[in-house]
Structure 1
Amino acid sequence: MPDPLYFCELLPNIKQVSVSIESKDGETPTSVGLHPSKRALTVKYGARTSHIMLPTPIDSPSITLIPAQTYRLSASQTYLGSDEYESLSGPVQDPWDASSVSPECSLRCIACTTTIIPGGRIQKWKNLPSEHWADMMDLWHCHKPHNKDGNSEGSRYSGVGRIVAESTVGLVDPMYFLLRKEDCENITFKQTGSNEAETTICQVCDIPLGIVDEKADGIRLMKWSLSLGLGSFKQNGDEMLDSYTLSQWLSAHLQFLVDNSGQRKFLIKPGASILSQQHLDGFGKRIEEGGGGLHVWVFNPNTLITRSEKPTPARAVKVYYQRVTSKEQADGLGDIEAVYLPQAIYDRFERLLEEGNASLPKALQTWAGLWNGGWLEKF
């Protein structure tokens, strides 16, 4: 009999570990016990023994574990107060901010390693402010600027707040780099749809690298499409590269949305921009597309999980999601923020959720008959 499928999750608010086990043939374990390390359960099916790795050690159960498919176990209080746990669960700075990217670094296509920005071309890297900083200026100011006629300019910070790409300067957002077209090489452009900004394409392997930002007179190279050349070289002469998975970048974006909006539910839709408020057409207008999308509930933005495919503890975002197939269905969600991803990334995001759902025991794949369970691994 093959090893059982399992998924374990730390529930930090109640300091418990949730364990769900499913044997491939539906058989119930004959015995379940705590491993001496307290980091695993020993599960027996007759003469066969398997180990269920846990995201944290647990306190010894006060009662014998009755063979079952689900458990709630008390996480070790000592471990939850340890430096090891803090290093796994504490806040992590998103990679590749301006302080960690030097002029010697290069940017390369993640698929074929073709150079997009050679080392030494960008002389200075600077962090961008939040996308919504101009709106916040309007909200925070008690006395708004007035024009020469004495009339309030209201929310007219757009002129002051307009950010423009500069030659040999890299502007850094948590999700992208804003650069001048002429500083890049080995790229081409393609218009992919009426609701898409012009797409930046790798000239060698034809994968999308980003979008043209007409308002900023530049292009946005999405970090999930890139590898960062570190400016140091291996013995064979190849530059050492740093890269992360799409799941990690998207989970960071969801975390950003939760932190900055105070919401946990979002409507993720295909479109050129990762911005929630406007289309990058130079006019701040979006051509309204069909109502299709994903209604995503960020149920637990920061947890630790272990699973059959990866028994070592990993940081993750736990999500529930529903497919939205019509504008009427989308309107029925009420006042919910719409978040747009480029079509190719939206498709991959949907696949990531589906793959995460398929990796769960059946008991966790749906909830309340309405939501599909899923998760995204974090940095």
Structure 2
Amino acid sequence: MYLAEYLPRLKQVSVKAEVGTSESLEAVSLAENVLLIRTPTSTLEVPLPVSHTASTKPTGYSFHDGVLSMTFSTALDTKGSSTFMELARSNAQLWSVSDLVAKTPRDSKNVNMFQFCCSNCHAVIIDSKSLKFIDMPSEFWQEMMDFWHCHKPHEHHHNENDKNYNGKIQPSQNQVYIGSYYLLLSGQSEKCEKCGSSLGIVEQGSTKLYKWRLNLCYKETRETYPPFAAIFYLILDKVNSSAIRKFTFKTKSASTNIWVLNLGLSVSVADIPVLENALKIFYIENPAETEDEVVEVPEE
């Protein structure tokens, strides 16, 4: 088991590798993008998130209880760091408007052609031919709007507000609002008409279809949406909207308290390719009651 991460703000690579308590180290060396750890019986290759250069120098080393820990400094900023805002922008999200426009084909009228289908039976649920797709500004837009309308700092009479805002957003019949993990539309059943599978929920007069219960279909391609992407974007949206890094995700049956430590990391973990723009979090499953803000998460 090993973990190697590139910390762009520190311009540092950190590596931890389990070698074994019965093993002794013979040599540790750097190749172009691999750390080689040699023992009397084997050689462990640890892929590095960034390539080794002449400027890469070891700055820390320890070997205790069979675990090797090393840090390397690199003067070359090979990868730019990402902010929460950059990661949370809609054009970086899977199945956002920008993502759909970029990868789906267009017809003779310059209209992007794609369909959202039931992930169970592949029946067509949404067809792009006659619909307009709009990105939601933020997953937590509603609480921000509630605050703005109730607490306008430049108005002396907060209660005398005649703006036409009723606390909810309602797409028209030919519109689909795209959130971080769902599609919001009107006049649509939350169940697949063909197989009866549940695709989402009806909420405040609109239908919210969960992306992970749909497939995106275009040309000969059928894309699925990994459920973990919903949590990833929820975390980014929550940090951006409320500037907090500790909160609790809660479903009907479980809860997880998380603390967001870092973001924009490049990481390699045993048998997994390098992950880009990763989040680093501490978490506790089913914690005791805390005062941290709760984020409700739909059951999968």
Note whether the superposition's TM-score is higher than 0.5. yes
Match of 1:307 among 253, 265, 269: 269
Is 1:36 aligned to 2:31, yes or no?
Answer: yes
Given that 1:29 and 1:43 are in contact with CA atoms closer than 8 Å, whether structure 2 keeps it comes out as no
Aligned positions of 1:88-99 closer than 5 A: 89=82, 91-92=86-87, 93-99=92-98
- Asked whether the 8 Å contact 2:59–2:70 carries over to 1, the reply is no
User: In the aligned structure 2, how far is the partner of 1:75 from the partner of 1:94?
Assistant: 31
Given that 1:16 and 1:74 are in contact with CA atoms closer than 8 Å, whether structure 2 keeps it comes out as yes
Q: Structure 1 residues 61, 133: CA separation in 2 closer, same or farther (over 3 Å shift)?
A: closer
- Which residue number corresponds to residue 49 of structure 1? 43
CA distance in 1, matches of 2:59, 2:262: 29
1:1-379 to 2 correspondences below 5 Å: 5-23=1-19, 26-37=21-32, 39-58=33-52, 59-61=55-57, 69-78=67-76, 80=77, 82=78, 85-86=79-80, 89=82, 91-92=86-87, 93-101=92-100, 104-120=113-129, 122-129=130-137, 130-138=141-149, 139-143=151-155, 152-153=159-160, 159-182=165-188, 188=191, 204=195, 206=197, 208-213=198-203, 215=204, 217-230=205-218, 233-234=219-220, 240-271=221-252, 293-324=255-286, 329-330=288-289, 333-334=290-291, 336-344=292-300
Work out whether residues 32 and 65 of structure 1, in 8 Å CA contact, stay in contact via their aligned partners in 2: no
Q: 2:264, 2:279 within 8 Å by CA — same for their partners in 1?
A: yes
Matched residues in 1 for 2:133 and 2:263: separation?
29
Q: Which amino acid aligns with 2:267?
A: I
Q: In the alignment, residue 47 of structure 2 is paired with which amino acid?
A: M
CA distance in 2, matches of 1:57, 1:110: 39
Question: 1:15 & 1:113 partners in 2: Cα distance?
Answer: 46
Task: Judge conservation of contact 2:59–2:71 (CA < 8 Å) in 1.
Answer: no
Q: Which amino acid aligns with 2:154?
A: C
* 1: CA distance, partners of 2:297 / 2:160: 32
Aligned length, in residue pairs: 276
1:103 touches 1:123 (CA, 8 Å); kept in 2?
no
Contact 1:54 1:313 (C-alpha < 8 Å) held by counterparts: no
Deviation of the 1:220 alpha carbon: 0.6
Q: Which amino acid aligns with 2:201?
A: I
Q: Distance in 2 between matches of 1:17 and 1:339?
A: 33
The AA in structure 1 aligned to 2:68 is: T
The one-character-per-residue Cα deviations of 1:274-324 (angstroms, maximum 9, x if unpaired) are xxxxxxxxxxxxxxxx9x521111122331110112143433211111133
**Cα distance in 2 for residues equivalent to 1:63 and 1:307:** 21
Q: Deviations over 1:95-131 (max 9, x none)?
A: 32234446522112345533221342x4211223423
* AA aligned opposite 1:127: D
SS of 1:132's partner is helix
Q: Is the 8 A contact 1:6 1:308 kept in 2?
A: yes
TM-score (norm 1): 0.63
Residue 353 of structure 1 is matched in structure 2 by: none
> Which consecutive unaligned segments of at least 5 residues does structure 1 have?
147-151, 189-200, 235-239, 272-289, 345-379
Taking only aligned residues, the RMSD between alpha carbons, in angstroms, comes to: 3.1
Query: 1:134 deviation in Å?
Result: 1.9
C-alpha contact 1:109 1:202 (8 A) present in aligned 2? no
SS of the residue corresponding to residue 135 of structure 1 reads: helix
Among all aligned residue pairs of Structure 1 and Structure 2, give the percentage whose two residues are the same amino acid.
21
Task: State how far apart, in whole Å, the 2-side matches of 1:255 and 1:211 are.
Answer: 23
Task: Give the direction of change, closer, same or farther, for the CA distance of 1:44–1:67 in structure 2 (3 Å limit).
Answer: farther
Distance 1:324 1:128 in 2: 31
**What residue in structure 1 maps to residue 108 of structure 2?**
none
- Are the equivalent residues in 1 in contact too, given 2:57–2:74 (CA < 8 A)? no
Amino acid at match of 1:209: L
Tell me how far apart the structure 1 counterparts of residues 297 and 59 of structure 2 sit (CA, whole Å).
Answer: 49
Are the aligned partners of 1:34 and 1:60 in contact in 2 as well (CA < 8 Å)?
no
1:164 Cα offset (Å): 1.4
2:57 counterpart SS class? coil
1:202 Cα deviation (Å)? 7.7
1:11-42 Cα deviation digits (max 9, x unpaired): 3343322211114x5434423422331x2111
Normalized per residue, the structure richer in helix is: 1
Following superposition, the deviation at residue 265 of structure 1 comes to 0.7
User: Residues of 1 paired with 2:131 and 2:156: CA distance?
Assistant: 36
CA distance in 1, matches of 2:193, 2:294: 28
Structure 1 position 264, deviation (Å): 0.7
